[in-house]
Amino acid sequence: MTTTTYESDFYQWTQQQADLLRKGALSTLDVEHLIEEIDSMGRRDKGALRNYLLNVAMHLLKWQYQPERRGIRWRLSIENGRDQIAWQIKDSPSLRPQLNELLADIYSSARRNAAGETGLPLTTFPKTCPLIVEQITGDWWPE
């Protein structure tokens, strides 16, 4: 029954699993799907953090390399992204040690997106990431 519900009505399945846990009916849990969902939740949080880093890095690059176009939208996007990163780390502090690796992973995309959005040649932006995590997460602004 729980497998069918998992496939046909995910919300109902979650409520059934929570109820079974509350009742201590561990032997009737849909363990295979619970494991899958718990693992997926962790990947989702890490993916969200990656996306926030990408957005902030891209906007900081645009801010630095196209100063004549600086505006409230870029500023708000950077500030919102920084808030999202801070909240994600507050909710999942074990992701903090992964920030450097995630920044390295997203930089080529941030560089490519910055070039695409500004119309500047890709070569305008450094091949290796000029940003450090503290610049992305702090109150640093390129001049």
What pLDDT sits at residue 4? 66
Q: Assess if residue 130 is contained within a domain.
A: yes
Distance of alpha carbon 31 from alpha carbon 22, whole angstroms: 15
E strand or H helix at 76: helix 72-91
What pLDDT sits at residue 2? 56
Q: Assess if residue 143 is contained within a domain.
A: no
Q: Assess if residue 21 is contained within a domain.
A: yes
Cβ partners under 8 Å of residue 21, min gap 6: 29
Q: Assess if residue 119 is contained within a domain.
A: yes
Distance of alpha carbon 95 from alpha carbon 111, whole angstroms: 23
- The boundaries of the domain holding residue 87 are 2-137
Q: Assess if residue 89 is contained within a domain.
A: yes
Predicted TM-score of the model (pTM): 0.85
Query: Which residue in this structure is represented by tokens 């500030």?
Result: 79
Domain count, the chain: 1
Q: Assess if residue 142 is contained within a domain.
A: no
**C-alpha to C-alpha distances, 116 to 4, 59, 94, 111, 139, nearest whole angstrom:** 45, 12, 33, 9, 25
Distance of alpha carbon 4 from alpha carbon 75, whole angstroms: 47
Residues of the chain with pLDDT under 70: 1-4
Q: Assess if residue 99 is contained within a domain.
A: yes
Answer yes or no: are the C-beta atoms of 58 and 112 closer than 8 Å: no
What pLDDT sits at residue 3? 60
Q: Assess if residue 42 is contained within a domain.
A: yes
What pLDDT sits at residue 120? 98
